[in-house]
């Protein structure tokens, strides 16, 4: 709710609802640690973050699984966009527009663009198709023309294939891929030539591709959640998570 206070020769707007700032309010974000813990709890409550035994693309048996596709209604998707926007504000990363890689990145980037505009930061938005369209506007790119510093938004980063494809599209359009925003950094070794590498996909993007990476939460935040807040039967889950990180985790993040 907005209240107009009487002031000499001008009006001052006071926002009485701090959780939903009005347009033009680019307020200070929560501390990164608290934001990450809030996101982990939200992901668990939404059924997006689950604990058990899951096979990853790399063939590993992971004690947890993060499925961003289960942010599957308007309320959850809107809250997710708020987390992305808050994490981006906290990171200080500069960008001129957002880009969503097909397919999961499309709704993520679109809703983040909406949330940024709601908070007073209106930026252009674009995405790509996996199949080129031969009628209408044609091509593989949809939305605003790619220009300036482009922020790529996706859910998680595994092999980095989608990011490299996005980078090639952005550069071909004459723009600059400047950063990547993801929901969860698994902080684990990627696979190269069938073997565990000494770096993660996020580290590869930072060190080899020269791009900044902003994540809402990391594997370390999941471990902290289990250690502090916990879930039903948290101790065995925590021990499996810790063992997984000791085997496949990377240092330096």
Q: Which residues contact 219 (CB under 8 A, 6 or more apart)?
A: 184, 185, 186, 187, 188, 241, 245, 249
Active-site residue identified among 18, 57, 130, 135: 135
| Pure H helices in 69-160 | 74-91, 105-118
SS3 assignment, position 95: coil
Alpha-carbon span 63 to 51, nearest angstrom: 6
Active-site residue identified among 18, 57, 133, 240: 133
**Quick one: which of 193, 184, 189 has its CA closest to 245?**
189
- Contacts of residues 50-53 at CB distance under 8 Å and 24 or more positions apart, as own/partner, are 51/231, 51/237, 51/241
Residue 225 falls in the annotated catalytic set: no
Q: Which residues contact 205 (CB under 8 A, 6 or more apart)?
A: 157, 160, 163, 180, 211, 213
Q: Give the 3-state secondary structure percentages of the chain, helix then strand then coil, rounded to 5.
A: 35, 30, 30
Alpha-carbon span 202 to 244, nearest angstrom: 18
Q: Are 97 and 72 in contact (CB under 8 A)?
A: no
What tokens appear for 187 in the block? 């902080």
Residue 240 falls in the annotated catalytic set: no
Residues annotated as catalytic are: 133, 135
């Amino acid at each position: 709710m907005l209240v107009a206070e009487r002031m000499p020769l001008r009006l001052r707007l006071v926002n009485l609802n701090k959780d939903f700032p009005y347009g033009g309010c680019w307020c200070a974000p929560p501390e990164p640690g608290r934001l990450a813990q809030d996101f982990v709890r939200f992901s668990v409550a939404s059924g997006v973050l689950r604990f058990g035994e899951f096979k990853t693309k790399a063939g590993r048996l992971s004690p947890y699984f993060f499925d961003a596709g289960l942010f599957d209604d308007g309320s959850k998707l809107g809250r997710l966009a708020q987390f992305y926007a808050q994490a981006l504000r906290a990171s200080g990363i500069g960008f001129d527009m957002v880009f969503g890689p097909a397919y999961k990145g499309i709704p993520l980037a679109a809703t983040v663009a909406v949330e940024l505009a709601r908070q007073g930061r209106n930026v252009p938005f674009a995405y790509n198709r996996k199949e080129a369209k031969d009628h209408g506007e044609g091509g593989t790119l949809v939305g605003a023309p790619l220009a300036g510093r482009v922020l790529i938004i996706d859910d998680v980063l595994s092999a980095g294939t989608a990011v490299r494809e996005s980078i090639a599209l952005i550069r071909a359009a004459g723009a600059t891929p400047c950063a990547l925003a993801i929901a969860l950094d698994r902080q684990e070794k990627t696979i190269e030539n069938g073997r565990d590498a000494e770096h993660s996909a996020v580290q590869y993007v930072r060190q080899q591709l020269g791009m900044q990476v902003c994540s809402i939460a990391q594997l370390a935040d999941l471990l902290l959640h289990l250690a502090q807040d916990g879930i039903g039967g948290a101790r065995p889950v925590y021990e499996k998570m810790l063992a997984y990180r000791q085997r496949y985790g990377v240092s330096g993040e």
